[in-house]
């Protein structure tokens, strides 16, 4: 088998996919064969290896595992379950039923370590890391000059890969805390068998920052480094991710400094129309989105947004509590979800017709601005934070409603710049919920603010302190024969 096919079909780490029974008789996952090492590299091989490293970010159905693996939580990337359903923003379905009951267990916190939601995200993130590690090893450790790839192209690829590895580990460390840290392909059976050892979260955070620094050093300049592939990682995405890492570690001045660096690029601003960021017809023509996964229709293999299909099956309805969080006449509610027709508009990327290729947005500028507001407020500049909140609100009230009419006068008035820090904190938290609803940020927000237990128990959830981290998938604990330990409380 040629290296291209091996890269495209490479399996996850042993512990990441040990739950896939049909994979257990194969070589330890992550193992590079001598055939792979000896095969001559080509431009096509390297380009495919990089592009394939993005795929675990997609919502395409059955993109990472084939055969409708509901039992592994891997039919689609399940951030929406771990973040939106767990945080009480989304109900599994518009009409309660027994379909995929494991999702309901996230909603009421009755889950155990055997719930497939955790295995699913574990599979996706470690599959991404494995693909990245293999691609980095080819680009960084081999002479690729014979492929015709220039140093500039090589650096761009490496910048993308370092960012993606940081992104996957950011997700893992926030979901699970201490996790196995793998930054090179596994090249022996001994390495593969010893891989499932958890590294301290602090060390994982250090690696995330190191990778982002490395990515920033080599990535090409420009809003879109590759004009014909605008979905690629850019310098803006890297800087924004550096700001997000600082935010999650309460490094407030770093957040402010990184966002100042991002603003200096001049690439991003709030769209005048709130929905432009999600409108599939305006992809890569609007000004707000910083990092997205580029779903596309009519491709083989399929690369569409599979959540559109899942939504069409009756999934992803707003909770009453989420709806009640919106102020009177705030058009963002209707832009987020069409309650009358039972359709999550942000997810499908349309205000009317159901389409199948809307991009998945991971970072957009409104999110970044609210990070800055939070950092300013925590740093003692509450008036500066309020100014940003009011900028977000003004964009909405100065825009139009879903039907194109003007937003009613008096909607979303400015917040007072004389409010104290505690009040501004509440405003930031409420603004993030309604501005970023259905975008898979809410549960992480509740956790990092330290209010998840308070908020969710007030809603009748059986939230416990241990739930600030999800459990390591039990099947991987079992397969590791004790080398992979479980989080407390599970």
SS3 content of the chain, % helix, strand, coil (to 5): 50, 5, 45
Determine contact, residues 284/230, Cβ cutoff 8 Å: yes
Mean pLDDT of all residues in 454-472 = 98
- Mean pLDDT, residues 169-189 taken together: 91
- Residue 40 CB coordination number (10 Å): 10
Task: Give per-residue pLDDT as tens, 265-294.
Answer: 999 999 999 999 999 999 999 999 999 999
Per-residue pLDDT tens over the stretch 368-380: 999 999 999 999 9
Domain 1-219 matches domain 251-438 at the CATH topology level? yes
- What is the C-alpha separation between 214 and 206, in angstroms, rounded? 12
Domain boundaries, the chain: 1-219, 251-438
Listed residue (228, 273, 229, 231) closest to 360, CA to CA: 231
* 275 close to 283: Cβ distance less than 8 angstroms: no
The fold of 1-219 is: 1.25.40
pTM exceeds 0.75: yes
Reply yes or no on whether the pLDDT at 22 is more than 90.
no
Q: pLDDT digit string (tens) for 223-269?
A: 999 999 999 999 999 999 999 999 999 999 999 999 999 999 999 99
**Is residue 159's pLDDT more than 70?**
yes
Indicate left, alpha or beta for 67 from its phi (over 0: left) and psi (-120 to 50: alpha). left
The whole-number pLDDT of residue 189 equals 62
Highest-scoring range by mean pLDDT, 33-42, 182-191, 462-471:
462-471
Furthest CA-CA distance within the chain: 69
Instruction: Output the CATH code of domain 251-438.
Output: 1.25.40.390
């Amino acid at each position: 088998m040629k290296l291209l096919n091996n890269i495209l079909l490479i399996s996850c780490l042993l512990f990441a996919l040990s739950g896939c029974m049909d994979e257990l008789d194969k070589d330890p996952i992550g193992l590079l064969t001598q055939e792979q090492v000896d095969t001559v590299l080509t431009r096509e091989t390297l380009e495919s290896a990089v592009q394939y490293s993005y795929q675990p970010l997609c919502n395409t159905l059955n993109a990472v595992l084939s055969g409708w693996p509901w039992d592994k939580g891997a039919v689609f990337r399940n951030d929406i379950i771990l973040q939106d359903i767990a945080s009480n923003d989304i109900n599994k379905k518009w009409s309660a039923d027994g379909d995929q009951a494991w999702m309901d267990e996230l909603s009421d916190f009755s889950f155990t370590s055997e719930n497939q939601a955790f295995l699913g995200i574990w599979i996706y993130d470690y599959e991404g890391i494995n693909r990245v590690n293999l691609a980095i090893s080819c680009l960084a450790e081999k002479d690729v000059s014979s492929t015709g790839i220039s140093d500039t192209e090589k650096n761009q690829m490496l910048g993308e890969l370092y960012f993606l590895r940081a992104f996957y580990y950011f997700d893992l460390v926030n979901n699970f805390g201490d996790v196995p840290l793998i930054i090179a392909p596994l090249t022996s059976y001994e390495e593969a068998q010893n891989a499932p050892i958890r590294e301290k979260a602090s060390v994982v955070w250090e690696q995330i920052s190191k990778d982002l620094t490395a990515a920033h050093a080599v990535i090409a300049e420009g809003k879109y480094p590759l004009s014909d592939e605008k979905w690629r990682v850019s310098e803006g995405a890297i800087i924004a991710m550096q700001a997000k890492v600082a935010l999650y570690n309460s490094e407030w001045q770093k957040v402010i400094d990184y966002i100042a660096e991002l603003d200096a690029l001049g690439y991003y601003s709030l769209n005048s129309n709130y929905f432009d960021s999600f409108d599939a017809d305006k992809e890569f023509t609007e000004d707000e989105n910083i990092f997205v996964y580029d779903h596309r229709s009519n491709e083989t293999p399929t690369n569409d947004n599979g959540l559109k299909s899942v939504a069409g099956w009756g999934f992803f309805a707003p909770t009453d509590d989420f709806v009640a969080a919106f102020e009177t006449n705030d058009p963002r509610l209707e832009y987020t979800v069409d309650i009358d027709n039972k359709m999550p508009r942000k997810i499908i990327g349309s205000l009317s017709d159901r389409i199948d290729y809307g991009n998945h947005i991971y970072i957009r500028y409104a999110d970044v601005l609210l990070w800055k507001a939070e950092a300013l407020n925590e740093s003692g500049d509450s008036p500066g934070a309020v100014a940003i909140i009011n900028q977000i609100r003004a964009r909405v009230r100065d825009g139009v409603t879903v039907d194109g009419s003007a937003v009613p006068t008096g909607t979303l008035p400015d917040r007072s710049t004389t409010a104290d820090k505690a009040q501004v904190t509440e405003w930031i938290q409420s603004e993030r919920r309604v501005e970023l609803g259905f975008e898979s940020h809410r549960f992480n927000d509740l956790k990092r603010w330290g209010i998840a237990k308070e908020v969710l128990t007030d809603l009748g959830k059986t939230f416990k302190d241990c739930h600030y981290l999800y459990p390591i998938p039990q099947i991987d604990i079992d397969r590791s024969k004790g080398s992979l330990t479980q989080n407390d409380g599970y």
